[in-house]
Every structure is written in structure tokens, then in C-alpha cells.
Chain A
Amino acid sequence: MRERAEIRLLPDGRRLYLQDGPIDVTLEAFGTTSEISSAYDAATRRFVSVLDELCGELSILRQPLTADSRQPAGTVAKRMARAVAPYAARTFITPMAAVAGAVAEEILAAMTGAAHLERAYVNDGGDIALHLEPGQQFVVGMIDRPDRASLFGTAVLEAIEPVRGIATSGWRGRSFSLGIADAVTVLADQAAMADAAATIIANAVDLPEHPNVFRVRARDVAPDNDLGDHLVTQGVGDLTAQEIGTALDGGETLARTLLTEGLIRAAALHLRGQTRIVGFPLHSNTLGNHAGDRSLVHA
């Protein structure tokens, strides 16, 4: 019952949607019509084999990489391995932590390699790779409530800045988290870097042993998950404002370290209506503004 990858232009006639197995990509290129067409062709050609390549090396991508372990061969897998390498010494991480960002990067690289584009984005399930020619910009927004689609923060990304990757992680997302962050959004130089960093910062927003945090072993939920025996967050009960602050402190401390090391350019950490901003550019002044009343729909 293997399904073919789904590839179609969205009804707006501008964005391309690609789906294969767990990969959902929406992308858009800006430039002349013929260049866009070339870029979309390139994206599609590259996309159709990505999942098979990854699955061919899945067993090693689900293990923490060490100097002794067999190194992955695929181009996407290599992007993943490179992105998580800076964290291998300090925490548990497998290349899977960067898979979405790495796929986004790979597709974007195929597009920019085949066509001249003014700007482009490849959004793989919320992890985004960007291309910006000099003088171009993107406006990036974040929301925590899909039913209202109102932004709790926006940031303008200029070509002159080094940011080309955006990623979001949190325990409510599709991937498991070891932490309790509702959402950690990271801007970094590349999408896979952002993806890996968002994952470990979200893990660091945590209250270990807190009785109101419900955790289970990852393997009890998903037997073949790369997190195995690690406890992953499945629910978060009531937290005091002080506890929320303590949890965010942990994530913020790590984010500032990564900022100093150049691994990230900015991060926004979101937990129960409280937001911490690390290194965000000037245009982010709306960030945090309405955060207080935009937490969960908690009756």
C-alpha cells in the first residue's frame, strides 16, 4: 500500500505542496515565471527520492552519532549529522532531531541550484529554509492559537542578516519533546541547525520530577522512536507562574549559550503565556505583547 508522493500546486497557483510519508512540505519561490517553474521542477525531482534515501539509513540516524559510528552517506542525512554534531558532547541527541530542517534545506538547495530566485522558502512542517537575494526580506510570524490565527510575534528577516533557517519545537508538536515548552522558535543560519537547536532548547525548558508533568517512555508510545527509553512529555498540568519562570530560565540559559557560540541567531521560548526572547532583531517588538492572554484555551 505504498503511496506515491503527492505533488501539487496549491489553488493559489503560487505555492507547491509536496508530501511523502511523514514529510509535508509547502514551498514558494519568487522570481520570473520561468525561473519559478525551473525551481519547482528541481524541487519535485529532488523530493521524490528523499524519503527512500532517509529510510535506507534510518537505523543509524536513530542513534546518537559518535566518532566511532558509521557516518551517514545521503546528502540529507549528512546535513542532519552536521546539525546535531555540536550538541553530541553535551546532551542526548540523534540526527533525527534535525530531519525536518535538513529536508527543507535540501529542497531549497535543489531549487536555488536550478534557478535564479529573488527569494524562496521551503517549509517542512514548520521548519523552514530560506533563500534571500541581497535587498530581499521575509516577514516571519508565530502564532500559538491556530483557530484565531493572530500573531504573538513577528520578525522581519533581511537578506543582510545571516538567518536562513527557522524551526519550532515543543511537546505538542509532531515530534516528542523531553521538555515542557509549548513552543520554542529558533532562527539560525540554516534550517537543520535551527531544527536541532529548537529541539534541545525545548528539551531544556523543563521542570524535572514535577508531579504535574506527565511523561512516558518514548518507546511505550512509539516503539521504534529514536528516543527509546527517554521520558517524553505527554501532558502538562497546572503550573505556578514561578514554576513557568523556572522552566523558561533553563531554556533561556541554554539559548544564550548557543547564541554566544553562533549556533543560533535568536530564539523565542513560549510556555503558558510567558515568553522569553533571546537575540531577536529589532522588528520583533510585537513579540511577547499579547502573550499573557494567548495561552491555552484553558476552560
Chain B
Amino acid sequence: MPDDDAIRCDACPVLCYIKPGRLGACDRYGNRDGQLVRVDPHVVLDRALARGASVVPFLEREQEWDGNIVGAPKAFVTAIGAGTTYPDYKPAPFIISSEVEGVDMVTVVTEGIFSYCGVKVKIDTDRHLGPECNLVRAQGEAVGHVTTGEYGSQMLSLGGVRHLTGGSRREGTVTCDTLLNLCNGKAVELKVDEGAAVVVQAGKPPIIDDVLEERMRVGCGSATIGMFAKQWYGKVDEVVVVDDHITGVLSEHQAGKLLGVPETGIKIKGRRSTPGRYFQVAEPGTAWGGTNIEDPLAILQPFKAKIAWPGLRLLMVSTTGEHHAYFELDEKLRPVSKDLPATLGESVARIKENCEPALCTVLFMGGAGGSLRAGVTENPVRLTHSVRDALTRVTCGGAPVYIWPGGGITFMVDVSRMPENAFGYVPTPALVAPIEFTLRLQDYADLGGYMDHVRALASIMPEEGHRHVSARPDNPWPLFPAKTPESQS
């Protein structure tokens, strides 16, 4: 009967076979990566019973939480008000026996969902990940697309309601899984149609076609010329900074002209933009400067015989200093590869030094436009207005969020500022993300809040039954009032 990957739980005589990522009949023991672990949502329930109060849907998982924060181990986050359920399991049922509103007994089945959401991923790289608008796939399913190229970075847009619910069931499930892992700081392998395979993990360098990207470009090819022209002057006759976007040429560039660098007769393939700046010198790729070329001479045409001279010294380098080559022209004005002179080696090293570490950054974007607001107030639009008026602060797992202007409450948050495993999912598929609305009690009353359900913090924060983590010093404390009504005028 048992599957190969199921384990048998011997915690009680039921002896459940439990599949990976699942719980036994008791909801207390689960199979995590082949290990029988106690997960114990009912401990929380028990304490809620003991208090005769409602249940806070927040599972205690001390062993799950190792105190580690993506990107900054010492940092900390408040979990006050953050409701998450353990991501790998079906949310626990909430069954309450208590006295509520003079009632002796209560039964309940529930869960919370977040289904309009996605992530924006910034990947620091010059390498070409794939054409703009092309699909980004995970496990073969379309989970997003390549969007704009930014300064030293490529942006991906993943998730969104169309991938979550608009495609096949598997597309939705894989999208949800991808978003969940990215948001929880785990590595995800993505493949761009007609492009590269990228391993993305928040706060970590990208791995592109099995190559770890160590550095972000110091600037575009033209900017690199501007920054280093003085250091090259006198040590070399010509420098080409190879860049898929804007390749720079020292002798033609304004910086070279100002220094009095003489013409060299160099001829670059591609489209000249302004002096010393060339677009489209090659096809995009994952080699030199984000182009597809392995041999930098491929972007050169023969030197102009009337201007160039035998012995002319030529440095070619990429925008990160990762690729570099040195040539001297022979009698027929053909570039011949030579060892890089030590003086030029320094300048190449300097380019590397000035590059920041390449990282992947992941912003979760979600919309709290629907009935989630109804859980806060009987008059949901007032919550939106209150957020707009800055009377209500929105945080995500205690981390600050950026609220998009315009309608609804659509926000973005840097997942690396949130606690690890702050996100969960439901198989709908949709993500479960924490969101907190913080405001003054009087304001809450004014916007039609459920005043009869407001309870003192002390009454819901006993030592146990909650996951306590410290607040990150670089996150604003969520309870500081954003703005008071008096200060509005």
C-alpha cells in the first residue's frame, strides 16, 4: 500500500503512512524531506482553548525558524499580527471550543488566501537572459516573462493572476510554487524561452547557464571609458569597452578627446550613436559584456591603413573587467594577441574592484483589494482611504511596503526584509502572505472596525504559542504612528 516516498509514523497506533510535505491524521506529525517531524498546530489551538479566546492562525515552528534572515543574519522582524500558515502543509483547520458571545460551542473550518500577486525580480547581470517579452519558465511551465533591461540588471516579472489562474492547472501550481520559493528566499531555476537558464535566489548572485555572476557592471561601456580614461592615458593607445548596450571607444569618446588621445583608425561594427559610443556591436548573449562574442576581435573591422600604425596597443575589456584581452598591431595592421602589461592589469583589476556584487532581488507584489479588507472593517473602502491618507500603515511580515498610487491597496515588499518562510500557499493555487494594517484605535473605530474583537496585546501574547523574532533594525517599527489626524492640516 505505501508509496516509496511515504514514511510510516509510529507516534500513535493509527500508524499513518505520510507522504512528503504532508501531515498524518492527527495534524501533529508530518513528513518533511523524509523525516518525521512534529509540527503541532494544535499546541496553538490548545492554548487558545485555554484562554477561551479565538485562535491566532500562526503556527509555532521553532525548529523551522532558525533565526536566519535572508541577506542579514542578525536582523529581525516583528511577527505581531502577521498571520501565516506553514507553507508545505494544508492550513490547519481551526476548530474552536470556547465561549464566544455567550455561546457555548463553536465549530469552524477556514483558511486565508492571496491570489492576485507576483514577484518582480531584478537580476544584476550584463549577460543576455533572453529577448524582452519572452516567457520565463519553471519546470517547463510559463510563470512570467522578461521585462525591461535596467542599469546593469535584467528585470523579470513572474506570477500574476493570469499565470496563477488563467492557464492550465499545472501552470498555476508551478507558478504558485515558484513564487512561494522565491518569496521564502529559496533558489529557483528559471529558463527563458530562446534564452538562458538562471538560478535565482533573493539576496544571492544569479547563476546564469551554470556560471555564477559575481559582479555587477561598473557602468555601461561608455561610462567605463569616462571613469578610467585617465588611468589608461599614456599606457595604451586604444581601449574598447565591450558592452551589448553601449560599447565605448577611448580615442573617439569625449573623455579621450579631452585628454588628447590621438585617432587610431579603429573601426567598430554596430551602429554609432554619438562619438565613441556604439550600439548593437554583436548579438546579445552571455559572453563578453552581455554579447554573444567569445572573440572580441569579432566586433572590429580592419583598421584604417591611413591612420593606424604597426605596434598600436589595444586593450579590449568588458564592463565588469571579467573579460579582457590585449593586442598589438603587426606590420599589416592586424591585431596580435599579447600578454596584458602589468600597468594595464591594474586598470582591469580596478574595474573589477569598482563593481558591486551581483545580486538577485525579489519584490513581492500583491493586491489587497478584495474581501481581505472586509476582515478589517465593515466598510472596506474606508480602509483604502485610510491607507491613502497615511493614517493606516501597511506592513508585510513587519517589513515596510511601497503602496502603489491609484486604486486599491497594491503593494510591493522586499522579501529579504521579511522573516524566513513568511509565505505560505493554498492549492487553489494562491499565495498566503502576511499583511498587517496598523492604525490608532480611534481611527479604527472611525473607519468601522470590529471594535468588539479588539483585544489587548498582553492577552494574545503569552510566552508560548507564537513565534517570536526580533525586529530588524533597518525596518521602521510598524507601531510608530505614520501620521496623526491632527497633523493632516
Contacts and interface: CB of A to CB of B under 8 A. Distances in A.
A173 B93 contact: yes
A15 interface: yes
B184 interface: no
B109 A299 contact: no
Interface in A235-257: 235-238
Interface stretch (B135-143, B267-275, B307-315, B370-378): B370-378
Contacts of A52: 13
A297 B113 contact: yes
- The secondary structure that dominates the B interface is loop
B14 A235 contact: no
Interface string B3-31: 10010001111111111001011111000
Given A173-B109, A211-B169, A1 B46 contact: no
A12 B450 contact: no
A149 B1 CA distance: 41
Contact of A298 (B12, B106, B370): B370
Q: Which of A144, A147, A168, A183 has the most CB of B within 10 A?
A: A147
A22 B112 contact: no
B410 to A, nearest CB: 10
Interface string A169-210: 010111000000011010000000000000000000000000
A222 interface: yes
Nearest to B373: A299
Interface string A47-86: 0000110010010000000000000000000000000000
Given A174-B27, A297-B112, A168 B49 contact: no
A12 B18 contact: no
Interface in B95-132: 95-98, 100-117
B343 interface: no
A262 interface: no
Interface stretch (B225-233, B280-288, B422-430): B422-430
Contacts of A22: 12, 14, 24-28
Q: Which of A154, A294, A299 has the most CB of B within 10 A?
A: A299
B453 A150 contact: yes
A234 interface: yes
B23 to A, nearest CB: 9
Contacts of A182: 109-110
Chain B: number of interface residues, binned into ranges: 35 or more
B369 interface: yes
A121 B12 contact: no
B294 to A, nearest CB: 47
Contact of A222 (B18, B52, B103): B18
Interface stretch (B53-61, B151-159, B199-207, B328-336): B53-61
B10 A21 contact: no
Interface stretch (A35-43, A87-95, A105-113, A123-131): A123-131
Contacts, number: 216
Contact of A223 (B1, B97, B172, B428): B1
B367 interface: yes
A149 B106 contact: yes
B83 interface: yes
B107 A145 contact: no
Given A147-B54, A238-B165, A297 B372 contact: yes
A208 to B, nearest CB: 16
Q: Which of A145, A212, A236 has the most CB of B within 10 A?
A: A145
A222 B427 contact: no
B16 A299 contact: no
Nearest to A170: B109
Nearest to B108: A143
A298 B372 contact: yes
Nearest to A56: B13
Contact of B19 (A17, A150, A222): A222
A145 B104 contact: no
B160 interface: no
A221 B165 CA distance: 22
A20 interface: yes
A172 B108 CA distance: 10
Given A55-B13, A299-B115, A168 B107 contact: yes
Given A22-B26, A123-B97, A142 B108 contact: yes
Nearest to B370: A298
B39 to A, nearest CB: 13
Contacts of A135: none
Contacts of A154: 101, 103
A55 to B, nearest CB: 4
A199 to B, nearest CB: 13
A168 to B, nearest CB: 4
Contacts of A234: 90, 427
B42 interface: yes
A2 B426 CA distance: 32
Given A22-B24, A151-B101, A299-B116, A2 B10 contact: yes
A295 interface: yes
A108 B323 CA distance: 79
A144 B109 contact: yes
A127 B108 CA distance: 11
A280 interface: no
B200 to A, nearest CB: 24
B366 interface: yes
Contacts of B19: 220-223
B91 interface: yes
28 contacts: A1-B10, A11-B50, A17-B46, A52-B13, A121-B104, A123-B97, A126-B93, A126-B95, A138-B105, A142-B107, A150-B450, A154-B101, A170-B109, A172-B91, A172-B111, A173-B95, A174-B93, A183-B108, A214-B429, A220-B19, A222-B18, A222-B19, A222-B22, A222-B25, A223-B2, A237-B165, A297-B371, A299-B117
Interface of B: 1-3, 6, 10-19, 22, 24-28, 42, 45-46, 49-57, 83, 90-91, 93-98, 100-117, 165, 169, 172-173, 366-372, 374-375, 378, 426-429, 435, 450, 453
A-B pairs with lowest CB-CB distance, top 3:
A21-B12, A149-B54, A235-B427
